[in-house]
Structure 1
Amino acid sequence: MTTAWSVSANGHPSPPEPGLTADDVVVRAERIAATLVDRQAETEQRGYYALDTHNEFLGAGLYRLLVPRRYGGYEFGLDTSVRVVSALARGCPSTAWMYAFGATHALAAATLFDEAAQDELFAGGDFICPATVAPVGFAERAEDGGWIVDGVHGYCSGSPYATYFIGHTLVAGEEGEPPAPMMFAVPRAQWTRLDDWGAQLGLKGSGSHSIAIEKVHVPEHRALPGTHLGLTSVADGTPGRELHGNPLYGGGVLSSLQFQLGALAVGMATGALDAYADLMRSRSTTFPPITLRAENPDFQTHYGEAAGRIAAAAAALHDAVRQWDTAARRGPQACTRELDLRLSTISREAIRLSWSAVSEHLFPTAGSSAVRAGARIERVWRDMSTQHSHAGVSVFLATVANRQLAELVFDVAG
């Protein structure tokens, strides 16, 4: 881990580069992303990005973007995070996915947990924490008031270099009541990463391994009712807003996480568009009149249609982030569940627009030789197909979010 060597006036550690700007880290992400394009096969084979890539992320400050300044982070905001994730996904979708769902959970952790928990979670400055939302097993009460958790949690993207893990389990309800979900955080030393990732259709290098936890004690301050998908309301304020004095840690958690899925889709589709542009510059049409594809009206149309959809997706996503930030600055009362859901649906549409650009225009017209196994457009198609199997996309955003939004608008019981 990188170390914050200096201490600020209030006694908190300073970030490693106090003068670093948001634009600086985006440029660094773009530079790193350019080197990842030719390493995608090895990343898929390994199942996660290489140690030297991890060290580059450390040196570039990418694991501190959303970490509070109190702990040596940069507090750059959601807009910076979305730009960095999209930049990385343009180079290597697997690497970006693993990075995004390791590093960006810093925002949820800094929003929902109290000071005692955050002092532990962010003690190292750099924060990498996979999180899952599906409850596993039942937690038992410990004698000291904490909890004993146990079970195997699947799809823990970001686990290979993680510092913590946020999972969910069930706790018994009151008499006659169903069990309720509970979120908890455990440090890396208390769980085991299983070697069970890489056989999927796409995102083979996303480090989405399972995590095994064997009867681990979780102190009360690292366990919260509900889930990190925003079922815990932020409209009455959050521990993070109070602790850090920054509205960044007071906005809707659900939409902030869904924005990462949108950013990944925009970045992946942009990478496919890059590859398609290379084909247009270097390959000729199959049927007369024989010209470069770049000079052919049909290929021009497909390129323009795809470019427009991707640009629209990016614009919608960035405006959703702007709306999120505006609401957070207005105060807790503006950060309603309805807004959280509405902004999440914008991210869903960004995913749909990006996918349609690839599936309807780039992949079908690239040519069979350009979509053979391992080709860049073929890999993006696989990775984006796999994104659609993610429960957050195929289930929550596609169905649950719609219903919950309508229930709130029309004030009907779900």
Structure 2
Amino acid sequence: MSGLQMNYAPIRSRQGELVEAAESLGDVLKARACDAELNRRLSPETMADLFANGLLGYFVPARFGGSELDWGAQIHIGRALAHHCGSTAWIGGVVGSHALYIGRMDPRAQDDVWGAGANVLVSTGSVMRDVTVETLAGGYRLSGRWSFCSGVDHASWALLRASPSGDHRQSYFLIPRADFAIEDDWFVSSMSGSGSKSVLVKDVFIPDYRVLSMADMMAPSPPGAQANAHYLYSGSFRPFSGSNLMGPILGGAEAVLFEFERMMATGEGGVDASDVQWQLTYAEAAAEISAAEQLINLMIRTQTRYGSVGLPIPKAERIAVVRDRTYAARLCLNGATRLVTGLSADSVLKDAPIQRMFRDLQGMMQQIGVNWDRNMINCAKASLDMNTDIPELNAD
């Protein structure tokens, strides 16, 4: 090149700012990660940091003061947070994305949730027990117990799934914090800091406008489209569903890789950076995690390419989304396992950071969205024009 200096200012985006904010919290999140695991919930200070930096408002509609970003923002933010704390990443990248569901509901429900401000966390529950739904004039009466409600200690609302009387189809019921109790039953081996406890509801009336069938939630032109034109609130949502967890999974695997790199530099865990076997282990794990990143980025590009212009994703590419995210998750776990299983005995101690990172990653892998057998078998069936258990893979 000539001596001419190219001084173009970098193009900044709101998504980029939020990812930078997530990375900037690294030291404090790492310092709090052990306590989050021990306390089985994120601290109020961590929640305040997430809200203050806009890390839970990326899918809140702009008319309420949210960022209203494109699909993929939650994956990039979750990935960045997972470099420091897997549980924080789950709340930031997965639970925070539940704002999308509220944005697709009746505008009156949106006003209930965000009318006083955008800094609201909505926890969801789909694993139900002893649930009853009574249809009444103007609404429903709901009772039951829902498990795995991540972040519920900090949630102002719960979005719970149930089937109205005489209807086998499930619907979403939006309930304020005053109308449900929290059961402290989150005693687990991984992702403890996510605080995914159960909620109890007893004889609570829910008005019609705060109830939406799953079919209508996923279909184009849901009630929320009246007020929010962005494609994530107005278009078909089924091809996007299930991909939120890829940010924490990728970031969790990278966290293990980064910690392993630090251990190579210090010689901790019996890792000898001059040993060819350790070099091969490190290089192969890094390649697996990098390959996973490429598959995840391809998934995001496919989803946004069609969604942003209101076109349905063709069947072959819908199959690829499910298949590739499942394979990317497997690559992340394989890479992290390769790094952790050869460490010396002192690295097995529960408070070793790499062990917490690895435990959390294993917990994330339990999600149905990346379940190997279910997803791969159904992707094969869909490719062979056979009926599947995954609705978005069946239609042409």
The answer to whether residue 117 in structure 2 is matched with residue 139 in structure 1 is no
TM-score, with length taken from structure 1: 0.83
Corresponding letter in the other structure for 2:247:
A
CA deviation string 1:11-50 (max 9, x = no partner): xxxxxxxx98221111110111332223222111111111
* Alignment counterpart, residue 37 of structure 1, candidates 27, 30, 35: 30
Deviation, 1:387, is 2.2
1:307 and 1:70 map into 2 onto residues whose CA distance is 42
2:242 and 2:50 map into 1 onto residues whose CA distance is 22
Corresponding letter in the other structure for 2:185:
D
SS of corresponding position for 2:256:
helix
Structure 1 equivalent of residue 112 of structure 2 = 120
2:298 and 2:184 map into 1 onto residues whose CA distance is 39
The 1:79/1:181 distance shift into structure 2, 3 A limit, reads: closer
* Alignment counterpart, residue 352 of structure 1, candidates 330, 343, 348: 330
Is this contact kept in 1: 2:282–2:339, CA < 8 A?
A: yes
Structure 2 equivalent of residue 370 of structure 1 = 347
Structure 1 equivalent of residue 52 of structure 2 = 59
Deviation, 1:120, is 1.8
Structure 2 equivalent of residue 96 of structure 1 = 89
In structure 2, the gaps of 5 or more residues are 1-11, 390-396
1:81 and 1:66 map into 2 onto residues whose CA distance is 8
Aligned ranges 1:5-16 → 2 under 5 Å: none
The 1:246/1:158 distance shift into structure 2, 3 A limit, reads: same
Is this contact kept in 1: 2:269–2:347, CA < 8 A?
A: no
Corresponding letter in the other structure for 1:324:
Q
TM-score, with length taken from structure 2: 0.87
1:281 and 1:393 map into 2 onto residues whose CA distance is 33
CA deviation string 1:151-171 (max 9, x = no partner): 111110011111211111122
Deviation, 1:74, is 0.6
Deviation, 1:297, is 1.7
The answer to whether residue 76 in structure 2 is matched with residue 83 in structure 1 is yes
Deviation, 1:409, is 6.2
Aligned ranges 1:10-409 → 2 under 5 Å: 21-111=14-104, 113-123=105-115, 124-136=117-129, 137-142=131-136, 144-173=137-166, 179-197=168-186, 199-226=187-214, 232-234=217-219, 236-283=220-267, 293-331=272-310, 333-335=311-313, 340=318, 342-359=320-337, 361-394=338-371, 398-399=373-374, 402-403=377-378, 406-407=381-382
Structure 2 equivalent of residue 289 of structure 1 = none
In structure 1, the gaps of 5 or more residues are 1-18, 287-291
CA deviation string 1:294-331 (max 9, x = no partner): 22221111111111111111121122111111111221
Q: Number of aligned residue pairs: give it.
A: 376
Structure 2 equivalent of residue 3 of structure 1 = none
Is this contact kept in 1: 2:126–2:161, CA < 8 A?
A: yes
Is this contact kept in 2: 1:252–1:340, CA < 8 A?
A: no
Which moved further from structure 2: 274-283 or 257-266? 257-266
SS of corresponding position for 1:104:
helix
Deviation, 1:412, is 4.3
SS of corresponding position for 1:237:
coil
Is this contact kept in 1: 2:77–2:92, CA < 8 A?
A: no
Is this contact kept in 2: 1:327–1:334, CA < 8 A?
A: yes
Is this contact kept in 2: 1:285–1:296, CA < 8 A?
A: no
2:332 and 2:235 map into 1 onto residues whose CA distance is 26
1:326 and 1:64 map into 2 onto residues whose CA distance is 23
2:77 and 2:94 map into 1 onto residues whose CA distance is 13
1:135 and 1:338 map into 2 onto residues whose CA distance is 33
Is this contact kept in 2: 1:149–1:217, CA < 8 A?
A: yes
1:380 and 1:374 map into 2 onto residues whose CA distance is 10
Structure 2 equivalent of residue 5 of structure 1 = none
Is this contact kept in 2: 1:98–1:157, CA < 8 A?
A: yes
Is this contact kept in 2: 1:148–1:218, CA < 8 A?
A: yes
The 1:293/1:400 distance shift into structure 2, 3 A limit, reads: closer
2:195 and 2:160 map into 1 onto residues whose CA distance is 16
Deviation, 1:104, is 0.9
Is this contact kept in 1: 2:269–2:344, CA < 8 A?
A: no
Corresponding letter in the other structure for 1:184:
F
1:302 and 1:191 map into 2 onto residues whose CA distance is 49
Runs of 4 or more, structure 1, over 6 Å off, are none
1:300 and 1:183 map into 2 onto residues whose CA distance is 50
The 1:284/1:207 distance shift into structure 2, 3 A limit, reads: closer
Is this contact kept in 2: 1:233–1:337, CA < 8 A?
A: no
2:165 and 2:320 map into 1 onto residues whose CA distance is 32
